[in-house]
């Protein structure tokens, strides 16, 4: 049998070493997670908030509000739409390329995921319509008071 | 009648469960006297009674008995029989009943079969199982009674939601449930072992088949759920890091770590404390997952019927079980004698790294899933998605896979890296060659996909290396299982990385007669036709797709409208070619005669789910191998004992 | 048989063993805080105290007139019920609505995303407690009034101001509360 140059860990220490390794890795995971969360979590804005306190240009965020009546327009390529999202206090133009969800109509709520463009237009890569069978965002429930006035003024 | 019988049986089963708990606790505490003899039979009968209750509920659904409230709210006489039956567990009360039934049957089975564990530990295990079941019985009987009558009976049921009438979706919950409940058995074993301070190979061998079985079901459930979301939602994605998805992934991560740990404890008597801890954590994750999903506390794309009240009940159960187990751990774990030593470069060492990395990934997913709750406490609303989960998860996944490539080749207890130099060399060659080929042959695909493909190549080679030098016909099934499962992981990672790297998307507004090129496919749009089904109408796009010159195939995505209840879905059309898929979705009309079409070519995407199935298959091979081994050993023992008797005469 | 006792082992430092429990307690605190926020029917709706949004809805069923904001300005409090023929819980609360109507309270309905024939059939099957029923095909009024599901009921006072929002089925046990809110709305 060949002599193995053994890596001996002193008996007393093995358990401690394992425990320390485990803790160090888990704490590292926690710190990395915390840092990444702060920089990558997607914040939710309503139009008045996003205009007052714009996020960094490349940051993925969500914008929620009511789709202004009469603002929905389809562009020439047939797959890009432009509309305006409002919350009773401010309005933000949004552009989206893709197939819209089925319950997306003017005058109803929407949450757009994407980035705020330099020219003040929100570029959305995903749209979630309120009352979509799949999505009932809790965040939007506070907004109904604002929306009511907006919808009212537009339906006249 | 059947409903009342079912309810009576449910009460009886709950009473038996309480008796099982009481007798078990007394027996373990040494005050039982003859009560110990009651525990096993109670477990067995309780399991059978619970099955009877579930059968009663299924019969009520199959008959569409509209005098039962649950059936009226969740079923419909026009549903096909198979969906009526699946509807029995496709609601909150029914799923709780399924949970309790599977737990009862599992406990009964353990009581019937296991002869390995010391008697006192077995009693403690059955008592722990009863303790967990009792909480759910209480939930059912006092707050979620499936057998409530509706008077007067409804004229027709309300449960005709078309999205739920899908075979995949009907069987996805039970698959996951078998996984969660299997982990509850592991939890009971861990608690039983902690209480009686019997943490050793016997405990590990008793627990292992349950962990394996649960893990196989979880793997299949998650794979099926991912594929269902992929073709049903029409977004082209296969994983969204949605809280409900994470709720199933977290127990899986813990169960994978537990699986490896229990194997070490069973064969090498090491990692004792780890195994017990993971046994508690794995079940905790399944309960936390259940809680997150049913309480409505997190926003999710999957809208379950949420109810904060139910969430609160589950939270209380969770606090009692997990809190109790962790207190027990704090009190008793210090006295667990340390297992056998091993050096860092050894099979055990590699498995420790594996466990630690899996735990880190679990922590990362847990933090990401809970972070929105934390920020809400500070009145900020956030959502956490792929930009967080992908890179941070990868940070721990990459080292884990690197160690996975060499771990199975190392000897137990002590080894040197030089000894495995040659096989490792093959692996690194495969890895770097893949990286180089990708750099040379394609445009830059991004860091994560590039690293992913390299890892997949290396792991695909490395997973077969343990078979090197073996007599393949005499290799234990368990080794084949390991090879298959690790290879499956490589396949899945290859699929995931390819999908990110090589997918091509085309979004157009097309007129009838126009042609679109998507990767190697020529897709011709022939037009839109209205079509109708039994409870829907749809606008169907008629496309023909030709793959690099071969004969065209019809591809017909639909925009479908159901009328009762009113709902619109997008039915994607998929064509599979050599592991890749052409994925077509039709949208709305764009100014008159043009229609929106979204087409993807996703090369190698099916490898993702194929890999998942291979992983589960590997687990199954391992399980079969272990069970066969144990059965053979039991028979051999019996033969030896009989021969001894004969000789002694 | 149990594993033989090994050599004198290192005890794991006690503090390390309690870390998982402490982390779990932290999780419980977080989650209890999250659960205790609004979501149940006792929530103070943000619409309470606000006037009804202006709307006019056509009739949803042949024999009852449609519904508009002007119908609320006659000094009489009303219960506005959002329902649909395809909503089973709405069928379950029908007896309660009938009871309120029989007691002399005025109940009006808004049928969302429904067809006239289906609404008519629903009313035949479950009774018709409504003095007026408006047809809201795109849930415009439902959204504007702050409702996000069916069934939901609102107590509107005699000047068209929303005084109470009840989310979900009105069960028999909820009737005393509804009657109380209707009484308060008279002041």
Is the sign of the CA dihedral B298, B303, B307, B313 positive or negative? Answer: negative
Give the chains touching A; criterion: ≥3 Cβ pairs < 8 Å. B, C
- Inter-chain touch C11–B334, beta carbons under 8 Å: yes
- Distance, in Å, from the CA atom of B282 to the CA atom of B290, rounded to the nearest integer, reads 13
Helix H or strand E segment including B386: helix B386-406
Give the mean pLDDT of chain A. 74
Residue B281 has pLDDT above 50, yes or no: yes
Interval B348-372 mean pLDDT: 93
Q: Is B473's Cβ below 8 Å from some Cβ in A?
A: no
Three-class DSSP labels, B68-113: EHHHHHHCCCCCCHHHHHHHHHCCHHHHHHHHHHHHHHHHHHHHHH
What residues of chain B, 376 to 395, have a C-beta less than 8 Å from chain A? 380-385, 387-388, 391-392, 395
Contacts A8 to B, Cβ<8 Å: 343
Residue B413 has pLDDT above 70, yes or no: yes
Interval B560-583 mean pLDDT: 82
pLDDT band for C148, please (50, 70, 90 cuts): low
pLDDT at position A146 is: 40
- Comparing CA positions, the residue from B317, B344, B322, B326 lying closest to residue B144 is B317
Residue from A107, A132, A144, A147 whose CB has the most chain C CBs within 10 Å, to mutate? A144
Residue B387 has pLDDT above 80, yes or no: yes
What residues of chain C, 22 to 41, have a C-beta less than 8 Å from chain A? 38-39
**Structure-model confidence comparison of residues B595 and B79, the more confident one:** B595
Spatial neighbors of B62 by CB under 8 A, at least 6 apart, are B81, B84, B85
Interval B407-431 mean pLDDT: 91
Interfacial residues of A (vs C; Cβ cutoff 8 Å):
11-16, 19, 23, 105, 107-109, 130-131, 136, 138, 141-142, 144-145, 147-149, 151-152, 155-156
pLDDT at position B239 is: 92
Spatial neighbors of B234 by CB under 8 A, at least 6 apart, are B569, B570, B571, B572, B585
pLDDT in tens, B516-527: 999 899 999 998
pLDDT band for B495, please (50, 70, 90 cuts): very high
Nearest chain C Cα distance for residue B328, angstroms: 10
Nearest chain C Cα distance for residue B162, angstroms: 14
- Inter-chain touch B374–C30, beta carbons under 8 Å: yes
Shortest CA distance from A135: residue in chain C: C148
Residue B116 has pLDDT above 50, yes or no: yes
Residue A117 has pLDDT above 80, yes or no: yes
pLDDT at position B311 is: 78
- Distance, in Å, from the CA atom of B98 to the CA atom of B336, rounded to the nearest integer, reads 35
Q: Is A125's Cβ below 8 Å from some Cβ in B?
A: no
ipTM strictly over 0.85? no
A85-108 b/e (C-beta count within 10 Å ≥ 16 → b): bbbbebbbbbbbebbbbbbbbbbb
Interval B545-554 mean pLDDT: 87
Task: Give the Cα-Cα-Cα angle B435, B440, B443 (nearest 5 degrees).
Answer: 95
| CB-closest option in B158, B269, B326 to C20 | B326
Q: Is C138's Cβ below 8 Å from some Cβ in A?
A: yes
Q: Where are the domains of chain B?
A: 1-158, 416-502+606-640, 505-602
- The mean-pLDDT minimum among A129-143, B72-86, B137-151, B202-216 falls in A129-143
| CB-closest option in A19, A145, A155 to C47 | A145
Shortest CA distance from C40: residue in chain B: B308
**Structure-model confidence comparison of residues A45 and B379, the more confident one:** A45
pLDDT band for B406, please (50, 70, 90 cuts): very high
Residue A4 has pLDDT above 80, yes or no: no
Nearest chain C Cα distance for residue A58, angstroms: 30
Q: Is A32's Cβ below 8 Å from some Cβ in B?
A: yes
Residue C41 has pLDDT above 60, yes or no: no
pTM of the model: 0.80
> Is residue C168 assigned to a domain?
yes
- Inter-chain touch A44–B302, beta carbons under 8 Å: no
- Distance, in Å, from the CA atom of B243 to the CA atom of C31, rounded to the nearest integer, reads 14
| CB-closest option in B356, B360, B507 to A79 | B507
Residue B248 has pLDDT above 60, yes or no: yes
Count: domains in chain C = 1
pLDDT at position C46 is: 62
| CB-closest option in C46, C54, C140 to A144 | C46
- The mean-pLDDT minimum among B117-131, B486-500, B622-636, C37-51 falls in C37-51
| CB-closest option in C7, C47, C138 to A105 | C138
Residue from B352, B383, B541 whose CB has the most chain A CBs within 10 Å, to mutate? B383
pLDDT at position B435 is: 94
Neighbours of B46 (CB within 10 A): 30
Shortest CA distance from B203: residue in chain C: C2
Residue A142 has pLDDT above 70, yes or no: no
- Inter-chain touch C50–A142, beta carbons under 8 Å: no
pLDDT band for A3, please (50, 70, 90 cuts): very low
- Inter-chain touch B345–A36, beta carbons under 8 Å: no
pLDDT at position B483 is: 96
> Is residue C13 assigned to a domain?
no
Q: Is A53's Cβ below 8 Å from some Cβ in B?
A: no
Give the mean pLDDT of chain B. 89
Q: Is A27's Cβ below 8 Å from some Cβ in B?
A: no
pLDDT at position B321 is: 93
B181-199 b/e (C-beta count within 10 Å ≥ 16 → b): bbbbbbbbbbbbbbbbebb
> Is residue C23 assigned to a domain?
no
pLDDT at position A153 is: 34
> Percentage of chain C surpassing pLDDT 90?
18
DSSP string, C74-109: SS--EEEEEE-TT-HHHHHHHHHHHHHHHTT-EEEE
Contacts C10 to A, Cβ<8 Å: 11-16
pLDDT band for B393, please (50, 70, 90 cuts): very high
CATH number for the domain harbouring residue C136: 3.40.30.10
Domain of residue C132, residue span: 56-186
Give the chains touching C; criterion: ≥3 Cβ pairs < 8 Å. A, B
What residues of chain B, 480 to 509, have a C-beta less than 8 Å from chain A? 507-509
| CB-closest option in B341, B359, B588 to A100 | B588
> Percentage of chain A surpassing pLDDT 70?
73
Interfacial residues of C (vs B; Cβ cutoff 8 Å):
1-3, 5-6, 9-12, 14, 17-18, 20-21, 24-25, 27-28, 30-35, 37, 39-40, 86-89, 91, 113, 125
DSSP string, B390-453: HHHHHHHHHHHHHHHHHGGGSPSS---GGGGHHHHHHHHHHHHHHHHHHHHHS----HHHHHHH
Helix H or strand E segment including B230: helix B201-233
Contact B187, B279 (CB under 8 A): yes
pLDDT in tens, B157-182: 766 666 667 777 777 878 888 999 89
pLDDT at position A154 is: 34
- Inter-chain touch B388–A36, beta carbons under 8 Å: yes
Contacts C54 to A, Cβ<8 Å: 152, 155-156
Contacts C14 to B, Cβ<8 Å: 330, 334
Residue from C1, C6, C41 whose CB has the most chain B CBs within 10 Å, to mutate? C6
Neighbours of C69 (CB within 10 A): 17
- Inter-chain touch A145–C46, beta carbons under 8 Å: yes
CB contacts < 8 A, A to C, total: 65
Contacts A60 to B, Cβ<8 Å: 385, 387
Helix H or strand E segment including B369: helix B347-376
> Is residue C76 assigned to a domain?
yes
Task: Give the Cα-Cα-Cα angle B249, B255, B261 (nearest 5 degrees).
Answer: 145
pLDDT at position B583 is: 94
- Distance, in Å, from the CA atom of C59 to the CA atom of C62, rounded to the nearest integer, reads 7
DSSP β-ladder status, B594-602 and B504-511: antiparallel
> Is residue C26 assigned to a domain?
no
- Distance, in Å, from the CA atom of B579 to the CA atom of B602, rounded to the nearest integer, reads 9
Shortest CA distance from B296: residue in chain A: A138
What residues of chain C, 36 to 75, have a C-beta less than 8 Å from chain A? 38-39, 46-47, 50, 53-55
Per DSSP, A135 falls in state B
pLDDT in tens, C72-121: 888 889 999 999 887 777 887 888 899 999 998 999 999 988 888 888 98
């Amino acid at each position: 049998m060949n002599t193995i140059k053994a890596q001996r860990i002193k008996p007393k220490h093995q358990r401690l070493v394992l425990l320390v390794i485990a803790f160090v890795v888990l704490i590292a995971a926690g710190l990395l997670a915390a840092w990444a969360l702060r920089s990558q979590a997607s914040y939710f804005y309503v139009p008045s908030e996003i205009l007052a306190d714009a996020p960094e240009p490349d940051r993925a965020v969500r914008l929620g509000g009511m789709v202004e009546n009469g603002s929905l327009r389809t562009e020439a390529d047939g797959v890009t739409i432009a509309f305006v999202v409002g919350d009773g206090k401010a309005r933000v133009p949004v552009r989206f390329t893709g197939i819209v969800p089925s319950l997306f109509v003017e005058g109803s709520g929407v949450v757009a995921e994407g980035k705020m463009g330099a020219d003040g237009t929100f570029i959305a890569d995903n749209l979630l319509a309120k009352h979509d069978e799949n999505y009932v965002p809790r965040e939007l429930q506070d907004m109904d008071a604002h929306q009511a006035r907006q919808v009212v003024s537009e339906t006249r | 009648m059947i409903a009342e019988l079912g309810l009576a049986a449910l009460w009886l089963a709950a009473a038996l469960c309480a008796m099982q708990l009481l007798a078990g606790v007394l027996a373990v505490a040494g005050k039982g006297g003859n009560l110990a003899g009651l525990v096993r039979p109670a477990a067995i009968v309780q399991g059978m009674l619970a099955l009877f209750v579930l059968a009663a509920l299924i019969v009520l659904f199959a008959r569409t008995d509209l005098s039962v409230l649950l059936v009226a709210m969740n079923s419909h006489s026009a549903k096909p029989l198979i969906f009526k039956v699946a509807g029995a567990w496709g609601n909150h009360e029914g799923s709780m009943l399924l949970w309790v039934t599977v737990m009862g049957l599992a406990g009964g089975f353990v009581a019937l079969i296991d002869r390995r564990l010391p008697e006192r530990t077995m009693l403690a295990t059955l008592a722990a199982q009863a303790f967990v079941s009792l909480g759910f019985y209480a939930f059912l009987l006092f707050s979620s009674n499936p057998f409530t009558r509706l008077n007067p009976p409804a004229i027709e049921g309300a449960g005709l939601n078309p999205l739920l009438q899908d075979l995949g979706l009907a069987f996805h919950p039970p698959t996951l449930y078998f996984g969660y409940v299997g982990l509850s058995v592991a939890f009971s074993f861990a608690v039983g072992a902690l209480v009686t301070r019997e943490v050793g190979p016997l405990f590990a061998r008793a627990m292992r088949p349950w962990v394996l079985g649960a893990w196989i079901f979880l793997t299949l459930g998650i794979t099926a759920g991912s594929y269902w979301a992929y073709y049903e939602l029409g977004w082209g994605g296969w994983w969204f890091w949605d809280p409900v998805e994470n709720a199933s992934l977290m127990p899986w991560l813990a169960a994978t770590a537990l699986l490896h740990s229990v194997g070490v404890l069973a064969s090498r008597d090491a990692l004792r404390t780890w195994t017990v801890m993971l046994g508690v954590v794995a079940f905790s994750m399944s309960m936390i997952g259940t809680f997150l999903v049913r309480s409505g506390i997190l926003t999710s794309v999957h809208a379950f019927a949420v109810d904060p009240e139910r969430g609160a009940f589950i939270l209380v159960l969770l606090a009692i079980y997990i809190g109790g187990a962790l207190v027990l751990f704090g009190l008793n774990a210090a006295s667990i004698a340390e297992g056998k030593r091993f050096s860092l470069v050894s099979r055990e060492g590699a498995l420790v790294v594996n466990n630690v990395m899996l735990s880190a990934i679990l922590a990362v997913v847990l933090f990401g899933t809970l972070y929105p709750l934390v920020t809400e406490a500070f009145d900020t609303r956030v959502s956490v998605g792929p930009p967080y989960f992908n890179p941070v998860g990868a940070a721990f996944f990459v080292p884990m896979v690197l160690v996975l490539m060499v771990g199975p080749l190392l000897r137990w207890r002590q080894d040197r890296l030089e000894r495995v130099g040659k096989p490792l060399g093959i692996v690194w060659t495969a890895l770097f060659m893949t990286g180089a080929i990708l750099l040379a042959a394609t445009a830059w695909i991004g860091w994560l996909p590039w690293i992913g493909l390299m890892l997949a190549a290396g792991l695909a080679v490395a997973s077969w290396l343990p078979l090197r030098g073996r007599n393949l016909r005499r290799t234990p099934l368990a080794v084949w299982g390991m090879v298959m499962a690790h290879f499956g992981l490589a396949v899945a990672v290859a699929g995931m990385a390819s999908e990110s790297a090589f997918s091509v998307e085309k979004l157009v507004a097309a007129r009838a007669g126009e042609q679109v090129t998507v990767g190697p496919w020529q897709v011709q749009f022939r037009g839109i036709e209205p079509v109708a089904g039994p409870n829907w109408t749809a606008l169907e796009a008629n496309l023909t797709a030709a793959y690099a010159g071969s004969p065209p195939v019809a591809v017909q995505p639909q925009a479908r409208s159901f009328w009762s209840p009113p709902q619109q879905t997008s039915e994607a059309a998929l064509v599979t070619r050599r592991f890749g898929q052409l994925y077509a979705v039709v949208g709305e009309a764009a100014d008159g005669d043009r229609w929106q079409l979204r087409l993807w070519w996703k090369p190698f995407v099916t490898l993702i789910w194929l890999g998942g199935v291979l992983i589960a298959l590997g687990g199954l091979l391992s399980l079969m191998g272990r069970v066969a081994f144990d059965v053979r050993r039991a028979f051999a023992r019996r033969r030896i004992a009989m021969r001894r008797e004969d000789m002694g005469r | 048989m149990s594993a033989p006792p090994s050599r004198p082992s290192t005890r794991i430092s006690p503090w390390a063993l309690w870390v998982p429990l402490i982390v779990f307690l932290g999780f419980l605190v977080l989650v209890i805080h999250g659960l205790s926020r609004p979501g149940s029917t006792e929530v103070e709706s943000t619409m309470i105290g606000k006037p009804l949004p202006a709307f006019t809805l056509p009739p949803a069923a042949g024999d009852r007139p449609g519904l508009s904001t002007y119908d609320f300005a006659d000094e009489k409090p009303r219960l506005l019920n959002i329902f649909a023929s395809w909503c089973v819980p709405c069928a379950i609360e029908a007896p309660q609505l009938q009871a309120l109507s029989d007691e002399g309270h005025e109940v009006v309905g808004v049928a969302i995303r429904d067809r006239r024939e289906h609404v008519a059939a629903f009313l035949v099957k479950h009774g018709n407690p409504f003095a007026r029923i408006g047809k809201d095909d795109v849930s415009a009024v439902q959204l504007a009034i702050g409702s996000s599901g069916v069934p939901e009921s609102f107590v509107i006072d005699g000047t068209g101001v929303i005084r109470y929002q009840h989310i979900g089925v009105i069960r028999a046990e909820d009737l005393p509360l509804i009657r109380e809110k209707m009484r308060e709305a008279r002041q």
